[in-house]
Amino acid sequence: MAPLRVGVVGASGTSGAVAARLVAAHPRMVLAFATSDARTGESVAATLGMRLANDVRFAPNAAAVDHAGACDAVLLATPADVSMRLVPAFVDASKQVVDLSGAFRLEAKEYPRWYAMEHTAPALLARAHYGLPELFGAPPGGSFVANPGCYPTAALLALAPLVREGLVETTGIVVDAKSGVTGAGRQSGDAYSFLAVDGDVRAYKVLAHQHTPEVERALSRVASAARVTFTAHLLPVPRGLLATCYARPRSGATRERIQSCLVEAYGRSAFVRVVPPGDVRLSGAVGTNLALVGAAADGDVVVAIGAIDNLLKGAAGQAVQNLNLMNGWDEALGLEHLQRFAA
């Protein structure tokens, strides 16, 4: 069987570099091309510290579509405005597309408020499959994947089964989430660098974070219209993300039922592990494509917690997981070796 030829656009960024490494090490994929404005002309293997059978060199991002003929699939680790321009071209060229940006996660009317721009390809929004496999299954034929954001991935995996089973109210949900500095990306500026955050913790985009409507939209797909208050924080660590979610219980939301609900949801999952809430921690998820989830209930509150690696299950690892599913392969193919890093 010929390997799947995969291009990675934005391959020198935090998520894009991880995606390129995963593709290069995958048993059924080959890195067909990679783009980076910052590294144009440089060797991909030398820059990213990996082995490649062919001498792939970074092309400029503007030339990405020119390489469509050389690939079967493309992973876009690009800002939302760039993805809006590139996705239609790759879809029209009949390529498999996984977009790691937020360009195709919401309704068109929401982009001016949350992304400060009009959506330039609204006709494609209905074809985008929201790629959180544990909740929404494999991408259907004819779709392309809108890879979920890192914060929504952790929050939804912890919270959505409880919402779906009617164990918590869908309004008044609070998500308090904290990520390592790589979650902000390399283009976010010095204010979000490790040096700026070291010894400190800060909230950012308070009441204005684009992941708020993303979480609400996904929860509304499994129950009635959800309302969420979401706050993101940066931690003084390189990577890893923990989301603590608070909700009001409904009848039957005992401690035992809350935990058993998660076990029922993820009993056969390749990547989600249900653990006691006190064991949901970064050290168990960083370096893997795992998500650790746990929940507790007491009186008038339910607390659901999720932890992931923001660059793997929160970005590049989940993108490869979706690409595996698009091709009918085991979703863990090329990702199972990462589990050796789990605590």
Q: What is the pTM (predicted TM-score) of this model?
A: 0.94
228-234 vs 173-179, strand pairing mode: parallel
Set 71, 150, 245, 261: catalytic member: 150
* Block residue for tokens 């912890």: 158
Report, as an integer, the average pLDDT of 323-335: 97
* pLDDT score at 341: 39
Q: Does domain 151-308 have CATH number 3.30.360.10?
A: yes
Confidence of residue 343 (pLDDT cuts 50, 70, 90): very low
**CATH ID of 4-130, from 3.40.50.300, 3.20.20.80, 3.40.50.720, 3.30.465.10:** 3.40.50.720
* pLDDT score at 11: 97
DSSP per-residue string spanning 53-99: SS--BPBPGGGTGGGGGG-SEEEE-S-HHHHHHHHHHHHHTT-EEEE
Q: Which of 173, 290, 200 is nearest to 240 (CA)?
A: 290
- How many angstroms separate the CA atoms of 170 and 258, rounded? 15
Q: For the chain, which residues make up each domain, given as ranges?
A: 4-130, 151-308
* pLDDT score at 191: 54
* pLDDT score at 18: 96
Query: For residue range 74-92, what is the model confidence (pLDDT) as tens digits?
Result: 999 999 999 999 999 999 9
Dihedral sign (CA 118, 123, 125, 126): positive
- Tokens in use for 41? 């002309």
Determine which helix (DSSP H) or strand (DSSP E) holds 232, and give its type and residue range: strand 228-234
Active site residue 150: yes
Please indicate whether the domains covering 4-130 and 151-308 agree at the CATH topology level.
no
Confidence of residue 21 (pLDDT cuts 50, 70, 90): very high
* pLDDT score at 339: 61
Query: For residue range 220-276, what is the model confidence (pLDDT) as tens digits?
Result: 999 989 999 999 999 999 999 999 999 999 999 999 999 999 999 999 999 999 999
- Evaluate if residue 317 carries a pLDDT over 90: yes
* pLDDT score at 342: 37
- How many angstroms separate the CA atoms of 45 and 336, rounded? 22
Query: For residue range 188-209, what is the model confidence (pLDDT) as tens digits?
Result: 555 555 555 678 999 999 999 9
Confidence of residue 337 (pLDDT cuts 50, 70, 90): confident
